[in-house]
Structure 1
Amino acid sequence: MPTNEHELPLEMVRNRPQLVPEMLRSVFGLDVSTNARATLASESYADTNPAELRCDATVLLGDPKSPVLGVVVESQLRALRQKTYSWPAYLASLRLRRRCPVVLLVLCPDQATARGCAVPIDMGHPGWVLKPLTVHPEMLPPITDPDQARRLPELAVLSAPAHADGPQSEAVLRGLSAAIGSLTGDTGALYHDYVMSRFSDAARKLMEDIVKLDNYEWQSEFALTHRAEGFAEGFRQGFAEGFAEGLAKGLAKGLAKGLLLLLEARGLDVSAGVRARVEGCSDSEQIERWIWRAVSADSAEDLFD
């Protein structure tokens, strides 16, 4: 299951290719039909050179056999010089194979990275300059309509951290709740972990309050499980049992229970040793550090590295 900052935006594209034309329309104003079919294509481009060209993702608009547009999608955590050579090759190979116009869309975590990746690439031939289309969360529109959020939950998840503390924060988080609640399987848990790790403390608290006050009827398997076994229940039980022993001990116990639930929700094996160490810890700040690590850890043991 992908969890890191590079892979998850790509997983969103693979889960819902329609996210790509939506961003091209809303961010760059490209004339892309709202009814155009969006499908994934091979990410590998064969060449006469034995080395294989492989981009992060490819989306075709229209009929996959005769597309009207091909989009090379790349996820970048920082600007890299070698990409100024590989990106033009991806576009040229895709254009050759599919016989259609092509564009390059680069997903970036922040404005600085997007600015660095957007530097025009001078190909040397007069007038031939590639200008990458780069996007970061602040460029995405706030998704405040729950119906739109359910239709494109990935767009709601990607844009929410940039708007969760703004003037439309409550509407954005209500839309996000609807988006996550509409997902099935492990996808909801994956997106939930991703977006909550990028929220401020205030946004996380507001998100919890909105879900609780609205008594939102979750639809997905993840959401039903999360509602029954999630953080809120863990904290409530921890506090209820802990008040008799002291507020500090109760807080640590609630945090420990929430951490173990998070590990289990992510499908990570929790050994008896890990469980004993977590439940035996009375340092609330230490457990909070473990919770942040648990969002992207590959194993439960990684919490203690």
Structure 2
Amino acid sequence: MPSVTHEALVELFKNRPTLAAEMLQDALGQRVPTFTEARVESSDLAEIVPSDRRADVIVVLLVGEQQRPAMAIVVEVQLGVDPDKPYVWPVYVTQTRARHRCPTWLLAVTVDEEIARWSARSIDMGHPGLTLAPLVLGPAGVPVVTDAEQARAAPEVVVLSAMAHGQGEAGEAIGVAFLAAAAGLDEERRAVYGDLVLSSLSAAARRTLEAMMKSGYEFQSEFARSYVAKGVEKGRLEAKAQAVLAVLDARGLEVPAEVRERVLASTDVAELDRWIRRAASVGDARELLATTGS
């Protein structure tokens, strides 16, 4: 099953169809044809590849009024060594080339340098002169985005930057640049991208960024305000959950694992308040979760 990181990277390339071409040209120095539109196409290659196999993202660069395909890019997010990929990647490329009748490139994307080196190995097809050399975007190739205007213009790039460089010295500056861009995103992307950026930063950078958001820093955005509010609410819930368990513990009652997990997982303030009151009178911790009583 694909990991959260895998799916997040896939979404970046789907949400910004030009991203694959931008990374090929700006980060990897490959010459990409001039195009008028970049379109994400179906990645289902079931005609040749088994139905449980499909490319992560297929982007087609289109030109002219007729929207003629100028080039296709097969984007594959790679987070680990997979011995099947040297066999299926060439199929993705040839099938996409046959479907869209245009030059087709393979772009492997990873956030791990070791996997980047593995992904870049040439694939010998066994036919004389036929070798596939994957183009690889690893952490070293991802730009470090610390400029607010650049982040606003390409929010997916600053998220990618955080995932690649968030643990380094530039992590804090990348986070601040993202905050500048967050206000211009729709609610869903703001939430998803915000979680990705914050989870990618080093602990020190994340603490600094959170402090800046709480203090009303000039780059504070709707995302920042909602993030702080969510953090305050989470702290409130955790405090009440701990209060429930503390009362039970003080009374010498044994708390089964299922009860403890249920209390700690609650996101209902009224429910937790009710449990605090019940914890003072129940004879068994299991009675706490009864739906009757106050």
The TM-score range, normalised by the shorter chain, is 0.7 to 0.9
* AA of the residue aligned to 2:101: R
Q: Which runs of 5+ in 1 are unaligned?
A: 239-251, 257-271, 280-305
Residue 185 (structure 1) aligns with: 187
Which secondary structure state, in structure 2, belongs to the residue aligned with residue 5 of structure 1? helix
Contact 1:74 1:107 in 2 (8 A): yes
Contact 1:75 1:108 in 2 (8 A): yes
* AA of the residue aligned to 1:11: E
Take 1:56 and 1:50, find their aligned partners in 2: how far apart are those partners? 13
Aligned-residue offset at 1:146? 1.3
Among 239, 244, 250, the residue aligned to 1:253: 239
Q: How many residues get paired?
A: 246
1:21-100 superposed matches below 5 A? 21-32=21-32, 36-47=36-47, 51-52=50-51, 54-63=54-63, 65-100=67-102
Residue 14 (structure 1) aligns with: 14
Take 2:34 and 2:217, find their aligned partners in 1: how far apart are those partners? 32
Take 1:207 and 1:28, find their aligned partners in 2: how far apart are those partners? 30
Note the aligned Cα RMSD (angstroms): 3.0
TM-score normalised according to structure 2 size: 0.73
Seen in structure 2, the aligned counterparts of structure 1 residues 163 and 34 have a Cα distance that, compared at 3 Å, is farther
Contact 1:78 1:117 in 2 (8 A): no
Take 1:139 and 1:3, find their aligned partners in 2: how far apart are those partners? 22
Among 103, 113, 120, the residue aligned to 1:111: 113
Residue 150 (structure 2) aligns with: 148
* AA of the residue aligned to 1:88: P
Which secondary structure state, in structure 2, belongs to the residue aligned with residue 25 of structure 1? helix
Contact 2:60 2:72 in 1 (8 A): yes
Seen in structure 2, the aligned counterparts of structure 1 residues 225 and 173 have a Cα distance that, compared at 3 Å, is closer
Seen in structure 2, the aligned counterparts of structure 1 residues 85 and 177 have a Cα distance that, compared at 3 Å, is same
Which secondary structure state, in structure 1, belongs to the residue aligned with residue 111 of structure 2? coil
Among 147, 157, 165, the residue aligned to 2:159: 157
Take 2:57 and 2:262, find their aligned partners in 1: how far apart are those partners? 38
Aligned-residue offset at 1:216? 2.8
Contact 1:38 1:61 in 2 (8 A): yes
Residue 211 (structure 2) aligns with: 209
Contact 1:234 1:255 in 2 (8 A): no
Residue 269 (structure 1) aligns with: none
Contact 1:26 1:140 in 2 (8 A): no
Contact 2:163 2:197 in 1 (8 A): yes
Seen in structure 2, the aligned counterparts of structure 1 residues 173 and 277 have a Cα distance that, compared at 3 Å, is closer
Take 1:116 and 1:145, find their aligned partners in 2: how far apart are those partners? 32
Q: Which runs of 5+ in 2 are unaligned?
A: 243-258, 267-294
Take 1:181 and 1:274, find their aligned partners in 2: how far apart are those partners? 36
State which structure, 1 or 2, has the greater radius of gyration over its C-alpha atoms. Answer: 2
Query: Are residues 1:126 and 2:128 paired?
Result: yes
